[in-house]
Structure 1
Amino acid sequence: MKLLQILVKSLISSVIIVDVITLPAFAHNGMDHEHHEHQHTAKPQTRLAVRKDVTDLSSAEKKDLVHAIKTLKTTIPAGSQLSIYDQFIAIHLGATRLIHNHHGHSHSSVKELAHENAAFLPWHRQYIRRFEQALQTVNPKVSLPYWDSTNPKALDVIFKDDFLSPNGRGVTINIPGRGSFTGGPVQSGPFSSANGWVLKPELNFDPVTEQSLGTSLVRFLQAPPANDYPLPQRDIDRVQALDDYSLYRAALEGFISVDEQGNITRGGFTHNYIHGLVGGVQIDLTTNPVSFKGLGTMSNIPSSPYDPVFWLHHANVDRLWAEWQANGHEGIDFYPADGQPYGHNLDDLMWPWDGGMSTPEATALADLLSLLPDVDAQDLVRPRDVLDYTKLGYIYDRHQMKEVPEPTSTFALCSLTALAAISLRKRKQQQIKYRQL
């Protein structure tokens, strides 16, 4: 069983994400982008949106969020085939399912632009902020809440008829050694098909067979083996204690973890696992390599933003990164300047906010090309531009901060110097362990 848990923790390795549309309210990321290299001047922010723990939302705040999400789903911009919400899905698909050529660079045909590499965190930070800005065009008071996956109360708040709808029903699966479990299409609440939450089949398909997965939001919440909840705080704490960005990103995304002795191991109770917890996953141990099959919308990563819980989950991932940054990992020293696939280095432009630098190649998914929204040619975003999230116009309600000495004495200054030296040594040791996996 422990093997199953380790395997499921590393199940989702092809996530997709999308960004925005050419609408004035969120055509830019809260910053002025000029054609001068690396010059990005922050616009004055009149008010920072505060992202709250979902369990702290009032009834009115939950209703406002649901209304804003559903309004985006039914609003089709002039000249588009897709609603605003569906455009976010299309970009997410484009970031993971299309091959991109990068003009003027030796790095070509990069398929995964939003996952499995360094830009997983900055790309999603930009992506969910664009979505939040879209919500605020409906209601300026709305901000994205986050789902703290260590909070035991969260499931009972999120998966209810008065908020993001409950688990699916109507399909029973038999899991050897574990019994029968029920899930399927969501049949009640605001995100059921009966209440207007209809997925576009051309944007909701199996990433392997490319067959449509239908028009309903599907959940197999807590079906084994992805059934452990809440996530252990000690596991999250060990991830947050990593000092090297490359290791930290891989751990937070869910491909590695840190054991009690500080050793790097495979799999983890983080981002990937939560996708499987909500959507459900089947594992076949008889194949080589071991095969994973997503059962529901959240575990079908390319179109996983069709489940509205996606945004709460990724707000939490971003919150953890923001907390890690605030605890001694701020700025460009804690992001790779080079050595990554194009689109993932510090000063690479990230698709689709790259002024046309990345051109999607026509593939078997050629029909998707016609659905991708246009992005302003001056809407340019690099990982560097989003390292300071407060410049994007939001903050979190609280962070877990480490205790460090105040730099007001010789002892304190020496202590901070020692902490920096220890941090550097730890990063080097962790990198060596990771390479040995």
Structure 2
Amino acid sequence: MTFVRRNVHELGQPWADELLWYARGVKAMKARPLADPTSWTFYGAIHGIHRGLWNFYGITQPGDPDPSQADQDTYWNQCQHGSWYFLPWHRGYVLALEANVRSEIGKLGGPVDTWALPYWNYFKTGQNGLPDEFASPDWPDGTGDNPLFVVQRWGDGPGLPIVLDLSLINLSAMGLTDFTGTANGGSPGFGGVDTGFAHGGAVHGGIETQPHDFVHGLIGGGDPNDPRLPGLMSTPPAAALDPIFWLHHANIDRLWASWVNETGVGGDPTDARWLNGPASIGERAFTLPMPDGTAWTYTPGEMRDMAALDYEYDDLTPDGAAMLVAAQAGARAGTARGGMMAMAADTKTTELLGANTGALPISGDTATRTAVRMAPEPRARSRSAFAAAGPEGGAEKVFLNLENVRGLADAAAFKVYVGLPEGARPADHPDHMAGGVALFGVSQATEAEGEHAGSGLTYVLDITPIVTRLGLDTDKLHVDIVPVRPIAKEAEVSVGRVSVYRQGE
């Protein structure tokens, strides 16, 4: 049987069956204790857990027993970020949660043979608002206890409808030609950089940076009384506790399927290390608890074919026919579309063009400016490559790197502008905007005892269109970082280094 995931905004009526039964299934899972592998909180901990934060928010209680150490070691803190495993791991995660919810629906006498998790296509015209069913504590089965509603979903502020700002998120990754990128300053690729098991890698791939990370931050936001306290969706060790997480990730999964099957832009890796997953190199396997009590272990290679996994989407166009055509045209022409275009990392040379000096603290709501000093010889090589390519463009690309970004505010986000004239207002020059960065996961990457020993996160933006227009005739390139929302000084957000790399033949 093939289950069909449908667009949540096109289900036909408020509290359509897909959402009502989803809520009932979530309620049943929430009734189980943390130690139960099929409970809502256990499944949240598979993505990541911060028990102190969970207790503070009242999601768990200090006295709640933990599962066995064996279960924790097998299942918890498993999500793949900053990794070429990001997409396949999350595909399996969504499938397993869907199976657990479907099992609960069956116990309640619901449509177990047809129910599938909806997806939220926030890019489709008029559909960027949080579905109403998630926005109220009331639901058809009760008052004040809607399982799809969470208090810690602040968006831009308390009491406001959450409507995603489409000027901050984009589908530029859909034009990338290569799944796997590089972590040495060039394009990170559509799906991420080559890693082993990475529960919080340092460099996020194209589709993870945009729209994945930004949507997380725009939904979760931060506590209006203490912005260092994240909404559930804003931080990896709490994100999967918010029921909207699963509709967001169903859409990210749909975009992966679209990139492979519909746009004709790129395809999945064929490397055995990707196909067989981290267990093939002696690291943790991807393993999830199923409703029948078994443990499901899967590999990325097994996640490639949706038909074999018995599900499909009702629509694979990213946000309509126009976007599909643009992605195909951008790939054929080899031009950057929306600031994200890639090339085969293993056949290209990546070279540092220049970097600023010193870390940049980011706070308040005004721009922080720095200058990247360009080295003469690499700059000359890049100029020659652009000149040789002519007006049609070519393999030469230029990437801006925000390295070692640290902080205590996972909901923080900022826009990045390149080459603004002195004294110019960034908002008046949208053609200078290189892109946006959302700091989903930055607090974990800042912790000294964490996986990356406090080295932070690195974000890569393709600035080829801007550089092509401005030229490389200057030895100094100005970069302005503008917070999307005010960033508290206490959040200690900083960029360790701003660098510019060329990537070419």
TM score, norm. by length of structure 2: 0.46
Residue 297 of structure 2 aligns to a residue whose secondary structure is coil
How far, CA to CA, are the matches of 1:305 and 1:299 in structure 2?
A: 10
Aligned to 1:325: 260
Tell me the amino acid that sits aligned with residue 243 of structure 2. Answer: P
Aligned to 1:115: 81
Tell me the amino acid that sits aligned with residue 385 of structure 1. Answer: E
Higher relative contact order (CA 8 A, sep 6+): 1
How far, CA to CA, are the matches of 2:24 and 2:300 in structure 1?
A: 30
Q: How far does the alpha carbon of each residue in 1:198-226 deviate from its partner, in whole angstroms, 9 at most, with x for none?
A: 99xxxxxxxxxxxxxxxx531112349x9
CA apart distance, 1:127: 0.8
CA apart distance, 1:189: 4.6
The alignment status of 1:67 with 2:9, answered yes or no, reads: no
- Structure 1 residue runs without a partner (length 5+): 1-46, 102-109, 167-186, 200-215, 259-266, 284-291, 355-371, 405-417
| Equivalent position to 2:7, from 53, 61, 71 | 53
Is the contact made by 2:192 and 2:204 (CA closer than 8 Å) also made in structure 1? yes
Tell me the amino acid that sits aligned with residue 233 of structure 2. Answer: M
CA apart distance, 1:394: 0.9
Aligned to 1:295: 230
| Equivalent position to 2:101, from 125, 131, 135 | 135
1:255–1:217 distance in 2 versus 1, CA, 3 Å:
same
How far, CA to CA, are the matches of 1:425 and 1:299 in structure 2?
A: 28
Residue 293 of structure 1 aligns to a residue whose secondary structure is strand
Higher normalized strand content (fraction of residues): 2
Q: Percent identity?
A: 23
The alignment status of 1:305 with 2:247, answered yes or no, reads: no
Residue 83 of structure 2 aligns to a residue whose secondary structure is coil
Q: How far does the alpha carbon of each residue in 1:156-189 deviate from its partner, in whole angstroms, 9 at most, with x for none?
A: 4x442xx1224xxxxxxxxxxxxxxxxxxxx545
The alignment status of 1:270 with 2:211, answered yes or no, reads: yes
Is the contact made by 1:349 and 1:380 (CA closer than 8 Å) also made in structure 2? no
1:134–1:81 distance in 2 versus 1, CA, 3 Å:
closer
1:94–1:351 distance in 2 versus 1, CA, 3 Å:
farther
Tell me the amino acid that sits aligned with residue 350 of structure 1. Answer: A
1:128–1:191 distance in 2 versus 1, CA, 3 Å:
farther
Superposition pairs of residues 283-432 of structure 1, within 5 angstroms: 293-326=228-261, 327-328=263-264, 334=269, 336-338=271-273, 343=278, 350-353=285-288, 376=294, 379-400=296-317, 426-428=343-345, 432=350
How far, CA to CA, are the matches of 1:280 and 1:312 in structure 2?
A: 18
Superposition pairs of residues 129-168 of structure 1, within 5 angstroms: 129-137=95-103, 138=105, 139-140=111-112, 141-156=114-129, 158-160=130-132, 163-166=133-136
Misfit runs of 4+, over 6 Å: 94-97, 190-193, 339-342, 344-349, 372-375, 418-422
Aligned to 1:84: 39
CA apart distance, 1:50: 1.4
Residue 237 of structure 2 aligns to a residue whose secondary structure is helix
1:122–1:79 distance in 2 versus 1, CA, 3 Å:
closer
The alignment status of 1:229 with 2:165, answered yes or no, reads: yes
The alignment status of 1:219 with 2:136, answered yes or no, reads: no
Residue 16 of structure 2 aligns to a residue whose secondary structure is helix
Q: How far does the alpha carbon of each residue in 1:372-429 deviate from its partner, in whole angstroms, 9 at most, with x for none?
A: 999635x32111110112211111112238569xxxxxxxxxxxxx96999x993247
CA apart distance, 1:86: 2.8
Tell me the amino acid that sits aligned with residue 164 of structure 1. Answer: F
Aligned to 1:27: none
Residue 248 of structure 1 aligns to a residue whose secondary structure is coil
CA apart distance, 1:274: 0.7
Aligned to 1:17: none
Is the contact made by 1:118 and 1:336 (CA closer than 8 Å) also made in structure 2? no
Residue 84 of structure 2 aligns to a residue whose secondary structure is coil
1:191–1:311 distance in 2 versus 1, CA, 3 Å:
farther
The alignment status of 1:126 with 2:81, answered yes or no, reads: no
Tell me the amino acid that sits aligned with residue 149 of structure 1. Answer: Y
How far, CA to CA, are the matches of 2:310 and 2:292 in structure 1?
A: 24
1:51–1:126 distance in 2 versus 1, CA, 3 Å:
same
How far, CA to CA, are the matches of 1:228 and 1:68 in structure 2?
A: 23
Over the aligned positions, Cα root-mean-square deviation in angstroms equals 5.1
